[in-house]
Chain A
Amino acid sequence: MTQGAVPLIDYSVILPVAICFIFGAGLLMMRKSIRWHPLIALPGLVLLFLADLTLLYRVATQGTVTMMMGGWLPPFGIAFTADLMGALFLAASGFAALCCGIYAVASISKVERRYGFFPLFFIMMGGVSGSFITGDVFNLYVWFEVFLIGSFGLLILGSRHEQLDGATKYCFLNLVGTTFFLIATGYLYGIFGTLNMADIAQKAAETDKTAMLFTLAALYFVSFAMKAAAFPLNFWLPASYHTPRFVVSALFAGLLTKVGIYAAIRINLMLFPPERAELSAVFAWVAALTMLVGGLGALAQTDLRRLLNYVVIAGIGTMFVALAMPVPDGDAVPSSLSVGLSGTIFYALHSIVVMTALYLAAGVAAHLTGTSSLREMGGLWRSNPLFAAVMLILLFAVSGLPPFSGFWPKVALVRASISGDLPWLAAMVLVSGFLLTIASARVFALGFWRPLPPIAAADRKVEPGGVVEEKFLAAGPDRALSAIPLFALTAFVIAAGVWPQWLFDLTDGAAAGIVDPSGYISSVFGDAP
């Protein structure tokens, strides 16, 4: 908590949200002059990313920072508290948003710009950024709603039939999820009389109403699992993420499910650690089955984007592994919980970047070949070797193969599972990685390596057993504008894979701040509570 004059760098706590809303509102006001939209949106996204990096720098060098809205003292005012985990998620989301923004400039048509692509983009980013920084449970719910509103708009942009079909499922399931969230928050307020996370963390540690907290933890977990698309609540994701524009899919896959993961770590792990430990068997099964469903689902798909939908789900399962770790018993340093959590945060950052990159790359591939079905793709290795190399790196990374960014967090998770007496969960991480490797190999072999299959137009219409894919509609992305984001994202994938230590230093700090939230609490209440 800051009192008196606020140092200038502390405003970086509020800047990501403020920038998103100023640019979103500004773009909405000039809805007639859509020619200017990209020219304003891109500097806005650059500013957002810079603000995210400033906050990360501030948090990494000087520790957790809190700003109370309107100067109302905690626990009564709404706190914006950025700790290392929130700042890391925020920086990754800003990076992914900037890359998607560059890609969108070329690939989003005039009509969709007129219907408000960029304003919705900024409103969604405002919601996502707010979720990562807020220190108030009800405020977290509000940010969930804000980014859901933005995502509803983005999802139906284009108004094709299957988009509306996918959006119905997406909206319904997400509304049910946020309703659970709201109900749980109502109970939470009834039990503690406060919504400030730091205050709850303190009071939950002292209380003996464990049965009530158990219910709360379970309710929160259901709502976040629904948001994150964990098994058995994962079916809305494959039903909706392949319908909008590629760049919108990339944004959703990169960011939205990770907000669910973030909230599950923040609420279930930081606020209710004993209840989390009681539920750890459930988390372990959810994680294992989600990984398995994702891996097997990816093997069964023939459409590139539908396949990626299941890859997202497999990644979600991997991230839930940390929640299944046993309570740290004190004699093992570092405990399996902190190692696993560090791996999960690393994996989430990697997943934000690599899933965004993969959907963008799928968009480029679909544009180059005119189809997104793996049965009809082919020959990209010959015609675009550089693009094919980028795709190969991304596929390696998402399968968890060295030397790219997906490898190290899986090492950490496997290590944590074994030291936490859950060898079967470690095996599941490896099995899921193996399934994803096969699925990735299929993508590369069918879409890139083999020569273009000579399929007559007539054959496409009467494809046996398959859904007839609508003619690929996205406007062609400009060569440079689609290459820059892909190269930038791939550069991160390589950097985090070859030099993982700097990122591990950060995620270790983030995990330590969650396992022992005393730094978080003293940031809100000052050193002497």
Chain B
Amino acid sequence: MRTIIFRFTAPYLTSLMVLFSIFVLLRGHNEPGGGFIGGLIAASAFAIYGIACGVAPVRRALHFHPMAIAAAGLMLAVLSGVLSLLIGVEFLTGLWAFPTFLGTEVALSTPLFFDIGVYLVVVGAISSIALALEETETD
């Protein structure tokens, strides 16, 4: 698979797909998208990068081990539920805040953080599996 064309395009393709996955993640609250599908897109981006350039560069680029990323996502998702304990409402109740950054109103909410958690779990788990499979195949 390591043809020059593929190796040349893979980094661009990967960065585009990761960007798109974040877009899908963020629009997911009211429109089609969300953490799960966004995470799948990002994981396939890393898989493509792994197929083109080998597994070691992907692991270097991710910096953290994929399982640690998945664990961080799980932690984020649970903590976004635990926040409701401090406010005194039922577990996982959506809490919203609308701060203004540079003149733009930004909707921040616990469902958003929960979704980011799901995204990280999917990215971590799927790329952990994909990288492990690619590792045994290429060597």
Contacts and interface: CB of A to CB of B under 8 A. Distances in A.
B123 to A, nearest CB: 14
B52 to A, nearest CB: 28
B13 interface: no
B96 to A, nearest CB: 13
B92 A22 contact: no
Contact of A25 (B74, B82, B92): B74
A50 interface: no
A119 B78 contact: no
B129 interface: no
A190 interface: no
Contacts of B88: 5-6
B70 interface: yes
Contacts of B94: 70
Contact of B90 (A18, A25, A27, A67): A67
A26 B72 CA distance: 8
B26 interface: no
Contacts of A69: 90-92
B62 interface: no
Interface in A1-51: 2, 5-6, 11, 14, 18, 21-22, 24-29, 31
A81 to B, nearest CB: 13
A26 B71 contact: yes
Contacts, number: 60
A71 interface: yes
A29 B90 contact: no
Contact of A29 (B68, B82, B92, B93): B68
B108 interface: no
Contacts of A27: 71
Contacts of B74: 21, 24-25, 28
A: interface residue count bin: 20 to 34
A6 B71 contact: no
B54 interface: no
Given A26-B71, A70-B94, A6 B78 contact: no
Interface residues of B, number: 20
A21 B121 CA distance: 13
A247 interface: no
A21 B78 contact: yes
The residue among B82, B91, B92 with the most chain A CB atoms within 10 A of its own CB is: B91
A70 B68 contact: no
A71 B67 contact: no
Interface in A66-99: 67-71, 80
B65 A31 contact: yes
Contacts of B67: 28, 31
A70 B72 CA distance: 22
Question: Interface on chain A toward B: helix, strand, loop, or mixed SS?
Answer: helix
B71 A18 contact: no
Contacts of B81: 14, 18
A67 B88 CA distance: 12
B136 to A, nearest CB: 15
B75 A22 contact: yes
A14 B92 CA distance: 10
A2 B84 CA distance: 14
Nearest to B68: A29
B70 A28 contact: yes
B16 interface: no
A22 B67 CA distance: 15
B122 to A, nearest CB: 14
B89 interface: yes
B85 interface: yes
The residue among A2, A14, A25, A71 with the most chain B CB atoms within 10 A of its own CB is: A25
Contacts of B85: 11
Contacts of A6: 88-90
A14 B78 CA distance: 11
B19 interface: no
B56 to A, nearest CB: 18
A11 B65 contact: no
A31 B128 CA distance: 14
A384 B105 CA distance: 72
Contacts of A26: 71, 75
A25 B72 contact: yes
Contacts of B70: 28
Nearest to A13: B91
Contact of B78 (A2, A22, A31, A80): A22
B90 to A, nearest CB: 5
A27 B89 CA distance: 28
A29 B91 CA distance: 24
A125 to B, nearest CB: 14
A27 B75 CA distance: 10
A354 to B, nearest CB: 33
A6 B84 CA distance: 10
A71 B93 contact: yes
A79 B88 CA distance: 17
Interface string A306-346: 00000000000000000000000000000000000000000
B91 A25 contact: no
Interface string B51-81: 0000000000000010110111011001101
Contact of A31 (B68, B79, B93): B68
A14 B74 CA distance: 16
B36 to A, nearest CB: 15
Interface of A: 2, 5-6, 11, 14, 18, 21-22, 24-29, 31, 67-71, 80, 119
Given A70-B90, A70-B92, A71-B90, 6 more contacts: A11-B91, A18-B82, A22-B78, A25-B71, A68-B90, A71-B89
5 contacts: A11-B91, A18-B81, A25-B71, A80-B91, A119-B71
Interface of B: 65, 67-68, 70-72, 74-75, 78-79, 81-82, 85, 88-94
Counting from the closest, the 7 A-B pairs by CB-CB distance are A28-B71, A25-B74, A25-B75, A71-B93, A25-B71, A70-B92, A29-B71
